[in-house]
Chains A and B, each alone.
Chain A
Amino acid sequence: MEWAWLAPALNFAAFGLIVLGGRRLPGQGAFLAILAIAGAFGVFWYALADFLGRGTGTYAFSVTWFKAGNVDVPWGMVLDPLALVMLGLVSFIALVIQVYSLGYMAGEERFGWYFAVHALFAGAMLAVVLADNLLLLYVAWELVGLGSYLLIGFWYERRSAAEAAKKAFVTTRLGDVGLLIGILLLFKLTGTFQLSGVFAQARELSTGVLTAATLLIFLGAMGKSAQFPLHVWLPDAMEGPTPVSALIHAATMVAAGVYLVARAFPLFELAPATLVVVALVGLVTAGIGATLALVMTDLKRVLAYSTVSNLGLMMLALGAGSIAAAIFHLVAHAFSKALLFLGAGSVMHGAERTDVREMGGLRLRMPLTAFSFAVGALSLAGFPPLSGFFSKDEVLLAVLGKGGVVFPAILVVLLGIVFLSALYLARALLLTFWGELKEENRHAHEAAGVMAVPMALLAVGAAAVGFLALRVGSLSPGFGAFLEGEGHAFRINPALTLASVAAALGGFALGYAVYQRHLFSPQRLAQRYSFLHRLLVNKYYVDHAYQWGIDRVVLAFSRGVALFDRLVVNDGGVNGTADTVRVSGLRLRYLQSGLVYNYALGIVVGVVAVALFWWLVIPRVL
């Protein structure tokens, strides 16, 4: 498919046109962004048809961007099943969210700018997905970071938004240091940026080097995919407009990390130690996200930690060696999470509040939102036969299949996380939409059509994409087989499925009991285990640790260096030299006694010294 590059290019072009065209364009140019992303979605269908027609295999092409010395720096696209899946996912979700934004952002002062950056963001993500070489991937990867920076900081007049944008960029940038060093390392070892070239030579590299390179690359993935301990930016990213959150959490930003690991999996496979690290980081992240989501009172924050948790699951699946499970969960989660966020956005739009404690009974006022939110929540909680059920099972199966010592232990924890997920989703759903409608929320209203249609579309997706996993005769081989070949067709382990469904149902039932039936009070529980509660409310003090580190270590160190520069280098070294000259002049002038015989003695000593130097020193030296 030679025209795959059009998908990102259209979006970049839309960005450029809107920025240059400014407000002179009709509707501030929003239509350009939507046309571009629709075009990308069109490219996806065309590429899919082309790919299926071609049968199997990948298609790649590349052009030279520039040359440095005799090194070609290429730009190229590769289309394989993995890229194809992501292309479709990203372009569809971005399209839906942009349409939704038409309604949500209406009346904003920088309406056009919003769509421009949206196009940039989507284009960058598409470029990440399609990139056939590490350098282009890094380029696009950074542009994704830029997009997130600009979108999170969209309302830059708000201090919190500016800080959140900065935090997101800096945090992901920390991870990118690792990614870039990893790319440099691989280039040094293999002499190429091309993924195919690197993979081809990977087998000849030593495991140690590969482990280092993959760990470095994983560091980049940790930043973008909000893995512990670089997850802190994601909850703060709520400061952007809600559709942006939906985009970031579903398909673009956070998906990039998971996609990167999947893309570079041929390298990870050869470094088993890295895979264990990936799995453990994923597990810790999943656990942290799930527990924190339980105590958050801001609806969007609950969803954010839910995303953290699910990203952990995806990484865990990758660590367990299953791309198919990770990507399938990515897709299912993308639909559900986009839906949930659009629902949350609809709530904010209609009820103008975000604290779950102040809501309740909103289903009476916004039935469509409530219904779609419920679909998303149930899907994510893993209720059969919604999509989350299928994908979560895949992850569990991947972990189970890995065997060894570590992974069975992980499985037990994982079931706990499934239970917690169902619990916090039940909490969010029930507190927001069920219960009694409060007086102050009576004015709440349902979202308009341009916002409702995308939600409906996503609800269908969230409910149905799970079935993609199944083989449908000769029409579709099933998701796993499409992605990884025949060996990865859909399968099921009845015992495991039973356990996971039980965990999910149990969690949901508990949530129902607590938040709907009020069988016992969560406040009492919080008081009893106040230490634990404080720990959770303070997000495990990770943010505090960072703040402490920045204030007490980084800034203190930099102040120290600046002071060193001023006192030692400048005042000591520079002014010191000048002072030395001045002071030595002051001292040495006393040698100028004014007494002629002193000077005469000086001449004599000088003559003797020259003679001695001439006879004794110079012959030794020469």
Chain B
Amino acid sequence: MITLAHLQVLSAALFCVGLYGVLARRNAVLILLAIELMLNAVNINLIGFAAFVDHEQFVGQVLAIFVITVAAAEVGLALAVLLRLYRSRASVRVDDLNMLKW
């Protein structure tokens, strides 16, 4: 029997995996991938609630669609930024990107 809790735990686990990736990786592209994981974790949660709780409106599903849309836009834009960055700095390592500091 699948319960909402199953989904919540899965979502939390996936979110944290993605989080680790964001926090630990040096390569900006890989960080982007990890962010996708986190977004998917959120979507699982949304759809889980839609399936278990909101039987009238299924708002979760609609929101998930929007999240996917935004994610697509985000990936496109972010990769463009990365390309630009790579061209100017010859690197996509985030530990090289420390100009905004004291």
Contact = CB atoms under 8 A, between A and B. Distances in A.
Chain A interface helix/strand/loop/mixed: helix
B29 to A, nearest CB: 14
B23 A600 contact: yes
B98 A594 contact: yes
A596 B101 contact: no
A272 to B, nearest CB: 80
Interface string B58-102: 000000000000000000000000000000000000110111111
B17 interface: no
Interface size of A as a range: 10 to 19
A596 B102 contact: no
A18 to B, nearest CB: 75
A597 B102 CA distance: 16
Interface string B22-49: 1110000001000000000000000000
Contact of B98 (A589, A593, A600, A604): A593
Contacts of A592: 101-102
Contacts, number: 30
Interface size class of B (residues with CB under 8 A): 10 to 19
A601 interface: yes
B19 interface: yes
A590 B101 CA distance: 8
Contact of B19 (A594, A596, A604): A604
A595 interface: yes
A597 B101 contact: no
Given A595-B95, A595-B97, A589 B22 contact: no
Contact of A601 (B23, B95, B100): B23
A589 B101 CA distance: 8
Contacts of B31: 597
B23 A594 contact: no
Given A600-B22, A601-B23, A594 B99 contact: yes
B39 to A, nearest CB: 15
B101 A594 contact: yes
B31 to A, nearest CB: 8
Nearest to B101: A594
B18 to A, nearest CB: 12
Contacts of B24: 597
A590 B22 CA distance: 22
A604 B20 CA distance: 10
Contacts of A589: 102
Pick from A590, A592, A594, A601 the residue with the most CB of B within 10 Å: A594
Interface string A32-54: 00000000000000000000000
A596 B99 contact: no
B102 A590 contact: yes
Interface in A186-210: none
B98 A595 contact: yes
Nearest to A589: B102
A597 B98 contact: no
Contacts of B94: 595-597
11 contacts: A589-B102, A590-B102, A594-B97, A594-B98, A594-B99, A594-B102, A595-B95, A595-B97, A596-B94, A597-B23, A601-B23
Given A594-B100, A597-B95, 8 more contacts: A589-B102, A594-B99, A594-B101, A595-B94, A595-B101, A597-B23, A597-B31, A597-B94
Interface of A: 589-590, 592-597, 600-601, 604
The list of the 9 closest CB pairs from A to B, nearest first, reads A594-B101, A594-B98, A589-B102, A594-B100, A595-B98, A592-B101, A592-B102, A601-B23, A597-B23
